[in-house]
Amino acid sequence: METVAAIPKYNLTGEQEKKLILREYRGLLRSLKPKLKSGDKELVRDAFEMAAEAHKTMRRKSGEPYILHPLAVARICVEEIGLGIRSTICALLHDTVEDTDITLEDIERDFGSEIARIVDGLTKISNVIDVNASQQAENFKKILLTLTDDPRVILIKLADRVHNMRTLDSMKREKQLKISSETVYVYAPLAHRMGLYNIKTELEDLAMKYLEPDEYKEIARKLSETKRERSRYINEFIKPLKEKLDKGQFEFEIYGRPKSIHSIWNKMRKKAVAFEEVYDLFAIRIIINAPPEREKEDCWKVYSLITDEYTPSPERLRDWLSNPKSNGYEALHTTVMGPQGKWVEVQIRSKRMNEIAEKGLAAHWKYKEGGNDESRFDKWFQQIREVLSTEDNDSINFLQDFKTSFLVEEIYVYTPKGDVKMLPVGSTALDFAFSIHSAIGVQCIGAKVNHKLVPISHKLRSGDQVEIITSSKQKPSEDWVNIVVTAKAKSKVKDALKEEKRKIADEGKYIIQRKLENFGAAYNQHNIDVLTSYYKFNSSLDFFYQVAVKSIDLRELNEFHLLGDRLEAPKPIRPIADVKVDQGAAQRKDAELIIFGESSDRIVYTLANCCKPIPGDDVFGFVSTGKGLTIHRTNCPNAAKLLSNYGHRVVKTKWAKNKEISFLTGIRIVGLDDVGVINKITNLISGELRLNINALTIEAKEGIFEGNIKIYVHDKEELDESVKRLKQLNGIQSVDRYDTENG
């Protein structure tokens, strides 16, 4: 898998290529050795030969023979996910049906129906890149349908994605952005959900390498610079613990592992701190060898030994021994105060738990007999099946709902009788009501959480005991859609609202019927369609509903013409011109749009408010209906969603130098509230850097001030220079750019 990268590409002779392919194939067989039963080796060879023959004329973007990709995917399946023979065969064949002349019937004939079904699942979802939005979410729906049918499909798909991300260098920049966004948006959370923590962190890190290249390089550089002092500290921290564990006669491994670049970057962003201030750059892991019946007890004994040596932070204890996560993860996490006043996270788990944490679902099957956590996975699958079975046409919303419902951590809450319910983080009392039964959800007027009365929007926390209060007079309202986070509750609320809307729309229908009859026009489909499109509604239901609630001025009907009994809409006074960009720019797929260059006069565009791009930022153009072209930064909070859902509307964009136009951007400064500090800041910005200040707000509290300054800059260089110079002022703690309108 990694060997491919070690050999220079593009310039291998046919003989060298053959050797390379054979070496990869033998490596795969070596990894499979412990799992091979009689006849398996021949099957794997047949699959390899079938794939090699089918792909023999194909090359990857890097120039290497295509067969190296299925081989690498198969090795990831075996070595990193712990899958077996059948999955290996499927991984080798995963691209054949889509890209070559081989059919599903051929695969079924040679390898049986189970393998054919998995390959079919992989084929349905392999082309999730570069299709229009609803198609993409549809494909994602298919992924999930196959997942609930046979989770191996998703595991092989994840292996495929890992290899694509590892070899993304040879792709074009916009492809890199799109594939990386999709990885962060869907595949990394999915890997997490399947319990594959190593793969999840690698996917996040690789995506960050392309989406945030500068930050990625910077953190990687700082990590390698601090490696030696970290190792020294880890050894100092571990030494007394080792002695205690040896004395207690535990069989154990103990080591420190660095946190991933992506998770460090996330901490820096969320807490607005510099790299140097992220205290938990690494975690200590203790893995004990204990028989199943003693695992829990021994983990707590180890916890006791650690906390004898170092003081724990009580609110940072995570007990996933008593309550494993729904993806099977079990461990005990604690954060303790180590030497030199540094907080250190310690993770305690048994060998079995460690395997489940690294290999996720595949290891989970191996230990299936336990029964207890198996039901958690089943519950999760069951919930997905339920959501998939409800026919909701809006696939984009489906993807969003799926993320908030199934790809986040869970909380555990109790019914009044003490039964446990598992809900995603962020769930409300209303979600809980729907999780019991939709009839209870629809009539929910409030809840008692831990015996206290709360509104339906109350956010639940793990360990809450919830009792739902209902009333037969209650009806769901529009704002319920924003109160619930689970996909099941969302779709039930929408159904109930539709039903309610239909009843009201019926009144609107009668009003229109009477109006048309008075006007001498027939009440028929043609006339309804004319009215619906004239008033710009998507469906006649919406039109009737708005008529019923009196938000439409029907006096305009007098301007319509009659042809027999058919209505004809009056001609609009001015044509709507917002299609200007859509035609040219988005059609020429590879053409780059230059903003503020010679060609820029012909293109109407706006700069996105969500991220306020300025020249020099990495940007992409996005064609939106009604607004034409909007320019977003690639690290905009909405970028991942736009790039992964609507790839077909993305246009490559770059800046041309232009010193005439200034852009408004914001800087947030935090520092010590010292005499004259404001003066220093304004002197630097207006006097030395000669930049115009648009607005300035300063708030001081208990010796610390926080200032938001809006300034006009020509480009990113000017902004970076001002941030650098401001940081050099005495008493300034942090200087960051902020993008949102409200700052």
Catalytic residue among 46, 79, 99, 392: 99
Listed residue (536, 535, 546) closest to 505, CA to CA: 546
Q: What are the tokens at 276? A: 């140097």
Catalytic residue among 49, 53, 98, 559: 98
Q: Is-catalytic flag, 308? A: no
Residues 257, 230 contacting (CB under 8 angstroms): no
Phi-psi region of 613 (alpha: psi -120 to 50; beta: other; left: phi over 0): beta
Q: Which residues contact 279 (CB under 8 A, 6 or more apart)?
A: 342, 343
Query: Edge to edge, what strands does the sheet with 466-470 contain?
Result: 452-454, 444-449, 466-470
Phi-psi region of 520 (alpha: psi -120 to 50; beta: other; left: phi over 0): left
Q: Where are the alpha helices (DSSP H) in 390-486?
A: 395-406, 429-436, 438-442, 480-483
Q: Residue with structure tokens 């954060």? A: 335
CA 365 to chain centre: 26
| Cα 222 to Cα 89: distance, rounded to the nearest angstrom | 42
Q: Which residues contact 291 (CB under 8 A, 6 or more apart)?
A: none
Q: Residue with structure tokens 């941030």? A: 723
Q: How far is CA 217 from CA 201, 205, 213, 214, 493, in A?
A: 16, 11, 6, 5, 46
Q: Which residues contact 243 (CB under 8 A, 6 or more apart)?
A: none
The end-to-end CA distance of the chain, in Å, is: 46
Q: How far is CA 142 from CA 137, 289, 395, 516, 612, in A?
A: 9, 40, 11, 45, 36
Listed residue (311, 315, 308, 317) closest to 337, CA to CA: 311
| Cα 190 to Cα 146: distance, rounded to the nearest angstrom | 14
Q: Is-catalytic flag, 98? A: yes
The H or E element that residue 678 is part of is helix 677-682
Residues marked as catalytic? 98-99
